[in-house]
Amino acid sequence: MLLNAPVTNAEVQNPIAEYPNVSIKDLLAQVRLDQSKGEPLLTEKIILAMDTVNGDLDGIAIQSEEQIRKYKRAVSYEAAALICEDNLDFDTTTTGQVRGENQREKADALRRIVQHTIADLTKRPRNRVRLI
C-alpha cells in the first residue's frame, strides 16, 4: 500500500439490495479520515458498518433522499468508529495511554451519532440513559 495514494471512488455493494450502496468518497465526505488507510481497508470497514446498520434497521425501507442521506451517514460514522478502534494505541507510556483513551472516547462519540441516526430512520426516540 502506498501512503497518500489516490483512493478511487469505489462503490461498495450493499449485501441487502434494497439498501443504498456507499462509496469510499461518501465515507470521506461524511467523516474526517486519512485516505492513506487505503481502498481495501476502507472497503472492508464500510462492509462491516453496513452489516451493523442493516441489522439495526430491521428491514425498514430506505426510499426517500433524506433516508438515503441518513443511511449513508450511519454507515460512514460506524465505519469511522471501527477504524478508530483499530487505531487504538497500546503504548505502555503515559502518552500512549492518554492517546488510546482519546481514541476510545472518539469511537464512543461516533457510535452515538450512529445510534441517533438509526433512531431517526426507525422513528424511535433518542433516549440516553446513564446507569450509575
Q: What is the predicted pLDDT for the residue at 118?
A: 95
Q: Minimum mean pLDDT among 21-25, 28-32, 115-119: which range?
A: 28-32
Tell me which residue has cell 483513551.
101
pLDDT in tens, 54-103: 999 988 999 999 999 999 999 999 999 999 888 765 555 666 555 556 67
Cβ atoms of residues 16 and 54 within 8 Å: yes
pTM of the model: 0.81
Question: What does the mean pLDDT of the chain come to?
Answer: 84
Question: What is the pLDDT at residue 1?
Answer: 39
Please give the helix or strand (H or E) that residue 31 lies within, else none: none
Reply yes or no on whether the pLDDT at 40 is more than 80.
yes
Q: How confident is the model at residue 39 (pLDDT cuts 50, 70, 90)?
A: confident
Q: Are 56 and 86 in contact (CB under 8 A)?
A: no
**Type and span of the H or E element at 20:** none
pLDDT for res 58: 84
Q: Inform me whether the pLDDT recorded for 104 exceeds 90.
A: no
pLDDT at position 2 is 43
Determine the pLDDT at residue 49: 97
